Amino acid sequence: MVDERDIEREEALAAYYDMMSSSLRTFTDDEVSIAYKAFLLAFEAHKGARRKSGEAYIMHPIAVAKIVSHEIGLGYKSIAAALLHDVVEDTDYTIDDIEGMFGEKIAFLVDGLTKFDTIFDKNVSIQAENFKKMVLAMADDIRVVLIKLADRLHNMRTLGSMAPHKREKIASETLYLYAPLAHRLGLYNIKTEMEDLTMKFQFPRIYEELQSKIVATAPERDAYIKTFTAPIIQQLNKNNIDYDISGRVKSIYSIWKKMEKKQVSFEEIYDLFAVRIVFKAAGGMDEKQQCWRIYSLVTDIYKPNYGRLRDWVSTPKENGYESLHITVMGALGRWVELQIRSERMNEIAERGYAAHWRYKSQHESLSGEVNPFDAALDKWLERIREMLANSEENATEFLDQLKLNLFSSEIMAYTPKGKMVKLPKRSTVIDFAYEIHTAIGNRAIGAKVNHKLVPLSYELNNGDQVELLTAENQKPNAEWLNFATTSRARNQIKAAIKAEVKEYFQKGKQAVEEIIRNFGVQPNAMLYKRITDAYNVTNKQELFSQVGAGILQLGEIGKVLRKQHRNKFLRYMELRLLGAGKRRKSPDKDEPKVEQPTINKRAFLLKEGTDPSKLDYRIATCCSPIPGDSVIGFIEPENKVLIHKKDCPDAIREAAQHGDTIVNVKWTEHKVLYFLARLTISGIDRVGLLRDLVKIISDEMHVNIRHLSAESHEGLFEDELDIYVHSTTDLNNLIGKLQKVTGVKDVKRIN
């Protein structure tokens, strides 16, 4: 009889040797020995454990190590840490044990990975302190996050074996945090796969439809790419350029997001694919010059669209990405995107940070100048440390700020002297001011953007030139927090306000105490209660602050103090009669405990009722889902379920931050309740068009219109209407009817 443990060991060994296949020739014997020792410990520690899929647990750390080795390109210490990443969390081994067997650095990596796993706690969805520990570990050694990204990627690849509500939570976390983090570290392939897998599990029907269409259109697309690239190949060969040229279809997720954003069909996406030219660097000309040389050869053949030129060769992205993107007009009037990059640029674009370090020596200047990518990465990590040092926000706000400041798209603005300042997208003038210098931010009163006067709240665009205006008597105020977006600006504004409040508090405290002493009265809690009641302030802290700031004048305080003195004996008797001298229970102990709602992980049915207030769910107004939409539910404190569309940004954020409240929801047939939907209708105007539209909506389809606005200009019209429907079936039927009306070119549902 075959022993299952022997089979498990043989399968694990085969997977391990496959993982190590690309490293055996580059590692020393000692390095190979350490990796194998880590495998043996992981195998023994996880012996008998199984994943939800039924597979032996050891196969997971081996798979993570393979991603670390093959797809990211890290070394033996990272491989060992990947193999050991669940040992401390899931078994009796400790970090001290790991350090004793493998040394300080591998133990540090394993410890950082273990802390990372506690970010999403089951009771408080995001534990800011644990997240801070992880980010600090990342700041010391970024391999912690690279290994964790490999771990999350493998979890996403095997997500099908998880329960539906777990899938929603993990997929939302991945889209909200891990995919942007992978993008920020230049791991394009991992970021793309994470996004596609998220879509595959959250919107399986749409994913399969798009995948089928991509496969079905492949022959036509391949033929077009072959025709398009033929003259380019001829020119590259003629100029003795060593290159590889290929056509790549964009990811399913990016295609879907473009369809959603532009409200177009798959067939209307013109830039479905991109052609990439990867050349081998030649002597006598640097890589940047070679990129522009190939650009010149291509644009001699095809006319370029100068508005879509993206030069990340002259100014690389902060994650190290370098490439020249151009869009040219090909045959049949089709725009085609072309990417031009060297082999080195391509590997960094595909594998990110790890590939950068492999090429680091080629980048470094002989003069000892700091490498631009190193400087950008150091600045990014410094911004993280700054956020951690100054953050006083709750856990959810902290993660939102981190995502906004560190993972969002960037814009580049310029000072009057031409100095470039990189900021997150949606940054304002006040963010720019604090990025230049704290003192300038504190005194800012406005700016001239491209020579036009604008307020501090003005949102900057890529390429803006900003001249800041300041005043010596200007001070930060709380209103600035409404439009400051960067962590640096918000922290500096809060620090300035806090310092000013502290100064007011001390000044006011001294003033109030001096007044009381002048009346010969001893300060006590009861006296301060009378004063705060008399001046309608919440507590003595507010009293001190308002007096110090000059907001509150204590001209009538003598009456309050004299009244206190006269009624001292009466108050004493009153307290005795009320039994105030007796020991009372702490009010905290008398307060009822707030019970967390019990979450039913089975499908929550969205049933119907004539009175919406009596339903045990409510519809989110941000996305207004209707029956037939793919939806997700969240248990609210009052035990109602809040229903969002699955692709609603608010829902993705809520699922990532409060995954423990997710409940799977399912529509039942609705024939009584109506749901609000919004349509836009556009096309060529004619007499009687609006009448024909309303006739179909009201008379034929019996749909109630809540709001209708119509606008016509130079022969074109655009109508927007809010209507009440039972479901997406009703809505789609109506859209189909409206699209057949003469003159109507487009009918879209919008949020």
22 against 290, higher pLDDT: 290
- Residue 401, pLDDT above cutoff 90: no
Q: What is the DSSP letter of 174?
A: I
Q: What is the pLDDT of residues 135-147, one digit of tens each?
A: 566 656 778 888 9
Neighbouring CB atoms inside 10 A of 393's CB total 18
Return the pLDDT at 239.
92
pLDDT-derived band at 293, boundaries 50, 70, 90: very high
Return the pLDDT at 570.
41
Q: What is the pLDDT of residues 645-703, one digit of tens each?
A: 888 888 888 887 777 788 888 777 666 567 788 889 988 888 888 888 888 888 877 78
Return the pLDDT at 583.
42
Q: What is the pLDDT of residues 449-467, one digit of tens each?
A: 998 888 999 999 888 899 9
Q: Where are the beta strands (DSSP E) in 486-583?
A: none
- Residue 384, pLDDT above cutoff 60: yes
Q: Hey, what are 691's tokens?
A: 């009448």
Spatial contact of 287 and 242, defined as CB atoms under 8 Å apart? no
Spatial contact of 71 and 189, defined as CB atoms under 8 Å apart? yes
Nearest partner of 384 among 120, 139, 131, judged by Cα: 139
Spatial contact of 748 and 736, defined as CB atoms under 8 Å apart? no
- Which of 42-46, 157-161, 386-390, 686-690 has the weakest average pLDDT? 386-390
Q: How far apart are CA 338 and CA 297, in angstroms?
A: 12
Return the pLDDT at 507.
84
Q: How far apart are CA 147 and CA 159, in angstroms?
A: 18
582 against 429, higher pLDDT: 429
What is the sign, positive or negative, of the torsion defined by CA atoms of 397, 399, 403, 405? Answer: positive
Which domains, and CATH codes, for the chain?
Answer: 4-202 (1.10.3210.10), 211-363 (3.30.460.10), 375-487 (3.10.20.30), 495-583 (no CATH), 604-667 (no CATH), 675-750 (3.30.70.260)
Q: Which residue has the tokens 């209407």?
A: 721
Identify the bridge partners of residue 467 per DSSP, sorted by sequence position.
Answer: 448
- Give residue 348's identity as a one-letter amino acid code: I
Q: Hey, what are 294's tokens?
A: 């190939």
pLDDT-derived band at 582, boundaries 50, 70, 90: very low
Query: CA torsion 200→204→206→211, rounded to 10°?
Result: 60
Q: How far apart are CA 678 and CA 621, in angstroms?
A: 12
User: φ and ψ at 601, to 5 degrees?
Assistant: -80, -5
Nearest partner of 330 among 353, 349, 309, 305, judged by Cα: 305
Q: Where are the alpha helices (DSSP H) in 162-279?
A: 164-173, 179-184, 188-202, 204-216, 218-238, 252-262
Question: Which residue numbers are catalytic?
Answer: 89-90
CB-based contacts of 300: which residues, under 8 Å, 6+ apart? Answer: 235
Mean pLDDT of 75-92: 89
Mean pLDDT of 722-749: 86
Q: Hey, what are 581's tokens?
A: 């001298």
Mean pLDDT of 175-199: 87
Q: Which residue has the tokens 């033996």?
A: 76
Name the 3-class secondary structure at 661. helix
Q: How far apart are CA 355 and CA 182, in angstroms?
A: 14
Return the pLDDT at 386.
63
Return the pLDDT at 294.
95
Cα dist from 459 to 153, 393, 424, whole Å: 36, 24, 11
Share of residues in the chain with pLDDT > 90 (%): 22
Spatial contact of 85 and 147, defined as CB atoms under 8 Å apart? yes
pLDDT-derived band at 425, boundaries 50, 70, 90: confident
Q: How far apart are CA 16 and CA 61, in angstroms?
A: 10
pLDDT-derived band at 358, boundaries 50, 70, 90: low
Mean pLDDT across the chain: 79
- Residue 495, pLDDT above cutoff 70: yes
- Which of 42-56, 96-110, 370-384 has the weakest average pLDDT? 370-384
Query: Of all residues in the chain, what percent are helix, strand and coil, respectively (each to 5)?
Result: 55, 15, 30
| Alpha carbon of residue 265 to chain centroid | 26
CB-based contacts of 381: which residues, under 8 Å, 6+ apart? Answer: 138, 139, 142
- Residue 259, pLDDT above cutoff 80: yes
Q: What is the pLDDT of residues 440-450, one digit of tens each?
A: 999 998 899 99
Mean pLDDT of 366-383: 56
Q: How far apart are CA 234 and CA 230, in angstroms?
A: 6
Nearest partner of 720 among 746, 684, 692, judged by Cα: 746
- Give residue 590's identity as a one-letter amino acid code: D
- Residue 588, pLDDT above cutoff 60: no
Mean pLDDT of 177-197: 87
- Residue 108, pLDDT above cutoff 80: yes
Spatial contact of 645 and 677, defined as CB atoms under 8 Å apart? no
Give 712-715's long-range contacts (Cβ < 8 A, gap of 24+). Answer: 712/685, 715/684, 715/685
- Residue 354, pLDDT above cutoff 80: no
Q: What is the pLDDT of residues 595-649, one digit of tens each?
A: 444 444 455 666 655 455 566 788 888 888 888 888 888 888 777 888 898 888 8
Mean pLDDT of 370-397: 59
Neighbouring CB atoms inside 10 A of 438's CB total 17
Return the pLDDT at 675.
78
CB-based contacts of 669: which residues, under 8 Å, 6+ apart? Answer: 608, 627, 727
Q: Which H or E element spans position 142?
A: none
Q: What is the pLDDT of residues 538-574, one digit of tens each?
A: 787 778 877 877 777 776 676 666 655 544 444 443 4
Number of C-alpha atoms within 13 angstroms, CB side, residue 219? 1
pLDDT-derived band at 233, boundaries 50, 70, 90: very high
Q: How far apart are CA 35 and CA 76, in angstroms?
A: 6
Q: What is the pLDDT of residues 6-25, one digit of tens each?
A: 778 888 899 989 998 877 77
- Residue 408, pLDDT above cutoff 80: no
Q: At what angle do helices 128-140 and 104-116 cross, to 10 degrees?
A: 150
- Residue 267, pLDDT above cutoff 50: yes
